[in-house]
Structures are given as C-alpha cells and as structure tokens.
Amino acid sequence: MEDRMINAFLIKYAEIALKGKNRHLFEDALIRQMRLALEKIEGEFQVTKEQGRVYVHCHSAYDFEEAVETLQKVFGIVGICPVAIYEEKGFEQLSQDVLTYMKEHHPGYCGTFKVHTRRAKKSFPMESMEVNAELGGCILDAFPGASVDVHEPQLNLSVEIRERIYVYSQTIPGPGGMPVGTNGKGMLLLSGGIDSPVAGYMIAKRGVQIDAVYFHAPPYTSERAKQKVVDLARLVARYSGPINLHVVNFTDIQLYIYDQCPHEELTIIMRRYMMRIAEHFARERKCMGLITGESIGQVASQTMQSLMATNEVCTLPVYRPVIGFDKQEIVEIAHKIDTFETSIQPFEDCCTIFVAKHPVTKPNLKIIHRSETKLEEKIDSLMEEAIRTTEVITVE
C-alpha cells in the first residue's frame, strides 16, 4: 500500500473482554506502550483516544512498513487499519475523496465490495445508509468491473464521518495479548539460549512488565557471551518495553559448589542458588513472580523431579510458559520474534561449563539438602557479594 496518502492508523483492540474501570487501565497502558514504541522510530506520531477509539496520527514523513512493524509488537493491538483522512466539506467532496482513495489504494478494482459508513458527526446532512448507497453508486460508475456484495465482500470500505473524514479498507493483524503494564511485573531468568527469551516474550504478551537476571561466570564465560544476552534482552524489549537486566557474577559460587558438592548434583544445586538470587532481585524490583524457559524433560535439570528440587527454594510463583512445548514449537516462536539467530550464536554458558558427565535426573531432596549443608560456611557471604557486585544494564 502507498504510504503518502495514509496519515493515520486506527487501532483495533479486544475491548469486548473489558468492563468498567479495566477498560481505562487497558487503554491507558496501550497508549503508553504505543508511544514508547513509536518514539524509537523516525517520524512525528501522535497517539490519541477519541470517542473510545485509539488512533495514531502521523504528522511528518515516516516509513510505512517500519510504523506497521513497530505497532505489530505492541501487545493489546488486534488490528491496525491504515487510514486516509480528508477534510469534511459535504458529500460532493466526500465522494471525490473516496474515489481518489480507491484509485490510489485499489487501482482498477474489479472484485466485490461494500461501503460501511459511520456518522459520528450528526450535523452531516445525510444518514449513513444513504451515504453507503450513494458512495456505492459512485464506485460502481468509476470501477465498471466491481460489484456490490453486502454479505461477504472482498473489500470492506469503511468511511467514518467525524470532524474530518476517515477512510480505510485494510486491517493488518496485530500481536494480540494485553498491553504491558496491565498485569504487574515478573523477573525473567534470561540465559543465552533459545527458550528463555521466548518465555519472556510469552509472559510479556499477557501484559506483564519484565526485568531480567543473567548469571555469568567470568573468565569461564566471555564478554561475548554476556553481550549475546544483552542483545537478546534488547530483542525481547521490542515487545516488553525497557528491561533492567541484572548481570550477576556467579563464578565464586559455582567454584565453591564445585569444590564442596558431588559433581552429579552440581547443576541442581547451582540452579537452586540461581533461583534464590533471582528471587532477591525480584523482591527488590517488586516483581510478583519468576519466569524461566524450562520445559519438562528437555534436559536432566528439567525432569519433574529436578524442577521440583529447583522450585523448592522459591517462595514466589515460578512461571514457565514453555513448560509443555517441544523444542520445535519453541524454535518456531523464537523465529517469529527474531531471537533465534542470536540464541544460536555459539558462546559458552555458565551451566554447561561446570556440568557433570552424568548429572542426576531424579534428585533426592534429602540428599540435595545434605549436600547444601556443606556450603554453610561461606555461601551466605558469597551470595551477598554476588548481589552487591551485580551490574544492572537497562536495555530498551
């Protein structure tokens, strides 16, 4: 579609599910997230709410594709309708403008169509049914191959008569979901893998604002590995809005566990300490839950028994949105949200560096507890140190 005629977008959202006060919260959050997203691209955009509808008005030159792609990442949007706006100067001018619109956007149109007029400006001298009929006639005259079908038209031409005239005929699908900020905040455990960025995206889609924590183990894990996680956070932030990424230096804790505990229990014990530290930052940031990319049975640390052992140390709820997904299903979402290529960059991960040849797949909680008592002497101070030296990187 040509962009020079399009000077606004009508934003459709799932208002049916919204009642009373929730509706305002939903709309306000939607508008806030749209503004945040549009601020990042070239052009002057104004997001407004008029008579219960949300519009983006474009006040300068802009890139149509870029604007649409940006709006397609704002959760809560169900449809994006590119709108051409004309001055309201009576029916004669309206019919000419509608023909101009048709010629620009559907040149030589020869399918079926229907005109749907809404008259919000009651002082306009014709009723909407009359406008439908008259405009339909004009279009039939100008496009001899076209015909009217009011039940299942191939082209639905919407005309809204307000202070100005709004014309649109296309609805581009939005991402659905709920606007970020309508459902509190969660702390994502973000690794450099495929699963956790997808998990973050999925929870953000339910309206949850996200912060993140990444455990690295320099010098065993490199600066590049850390940069990859920062890059992933930035990719997720295109959907979720700004993320405060907590980069925790986990090396001393890992080495201490490695020294003190049976190696086949390393992964589980390490993951329990990750959860404890993540929970600390979750509380500090007023998050109401932790989020991980775990999926039942994917690896040894994700059997039901292992998940139970990891979960045991958490008092906040742990959300695992990909828990029932096969790898392939997670990969498909990773492609859709464009994190896959970054996730597969081959940098070492702190979990794989100290991993045992034969990790326990059915950890026994009593045994894990006993092993953890061997850490009593130093673990509290090591955790305090890790928390104290954590670097926070805000990505947007």
Residue found under tokens 């839950």? 289
Of the candidate residues 195, 211, 265, 372, the single one contacting ligand ATP (CB under 6 A): 195
293 belongs to the binding site for ligand ATP (CB under 6 A): yes
Per partner kind, with CB cut-offs from 5 to 8 A, the member of Mg ion, ligand ATP, none near residue 34 is: none
Of the candidate residues 191, 251, 254, 301, the single one contacting Mg ion (CB under 5 A): 191
CB atoms under 10 Å from CB of 315, counted, come to: 8
- Is 293 annotated to bind a ligand? Reply is yes
Q: Which is nearer to Mg ion, 80 or 322 (CB)?
A: 322
Q: Got the DSSP string for 80-128? A: EEEEEEEE--HHHHHHHHHHHHHHHHSTT--SEEEEEEEE--TTSSS-H
Q: How far apart are CA 181 and CA 183, in angstroms?
A: 6
Angle at 96 between CA 93 and CA 102, to 5 degrees: 140
According to DSSP, the residues that pair with 116 across neighbouring strands are 158
Q: 324-363: which residues touch ligand ATP (CB under 6 A)?
A: 349-351
Structure tokens at 352: 């794989």
Q: 72-131: which residues touch ligand ATP (CB under 6 A)?
A: none
214 belongs to the binding site for ligand ATP (CB under 6 A): yes
Q: How far apart are CA 77 and CA 311, in angstroms?
A: 34
215 belongs to the binding site for ligand ATP (CB under 6 A): yes
182 belongs to the binding site for ligand ATP (CB under 6 A): no
Query: Shortest distance, CB of residue 263 to ligand ATP, whole angstroms?
Result: 17
Q: Which stretch binds ligand ATP (CB under 6 A): 27-35, 208-216, 356-364, 378-386?
A: 208-216
Query: Shortest distance, CB of residue 359 to ligand ATP, whole angstroms?
Result: 10
Of the candidate residues 131, 194, 204, 382, the single one contacting ligand ATP (CB under 6 A): 194
186 belongs to the binding site for ligand ATP (CB under 6 A): no
197 belongs to the binding site for Mg ion (CB under 5 A): no
Q: What are phi and psi of 206, to 5 degrees?
A: -90, 10
User: Residue with CB nearest ligand ATP?
Assistant: 193
User: For 151, what's the count of Cα atoms within 13 Å in the CB-facing half-sphere?
Assistant: 0
Q: How far apart are CA 97 and CA 165, in angstroms?
A: 9
196 belongs to the binding site for ligand ATP (CB under 6 A): yes
Long-range contacts of range 341-346, CB-CB < 8 Å, 24 or more positions apart?
342/228, 342/231, 342/232, 342/235, 343/192, 343/193, 343/194, 343/197, 343/232, 344/194, 345/192, 345/228
Q: Which stretch binds ligand ATP (CB under 6 A): 16-24, 111-119, 295-303, 376-384?
A: 295-303
Residue type, 286: K
- Is 206 annotated to bind a ligand? Reply is no
Residue type, 382: L
- Is 189 annotated to bind a ligand? Reply is yes
- Is 215 annotated to bind a ligand? Reply is yes
Tell me if 301 sits within 8 A of 359, measured CB to CB. Answer: yes
Q: Which is nearer to ligand ATP, 193 or 289 (CB)?
A: 193
Query: Which runs of E-coded beta strand occur in 176-251?
Result: 185-189, 209-216, 243-249
Of the candidate residues 174, 181, 193, 363, the single one contacting ligand ATP (CB under 6 A): 193
301 belongs to the binding site for ligand ATP (CB under 6 A): yes
Of the candidate residues 76, 181, 193, 321, the single one contacting Mg ion (CB under 5 A): 193
Q: How far apart are CA 378 and CA 25, in angstroms?
A: 47
395 belongs to the binding site for ligand ATP (CB under 6 A): no
136 belongs to the binding site for Mg ion (CB under 5 A): no
Q: Which stretch binds Mg ion (CB under 5 A): 184-192, 214-222, 235-243, 264-272?
A: 184-192
What residue ranges bind ligand ATP (CB under 6 A)? Answer: 189-191, 193-196, 213-215, 292-294, 298-299, 301-302, 349-351
What residue ranges bind Mg ion (CB under 5 A)? Answer: 191, 193
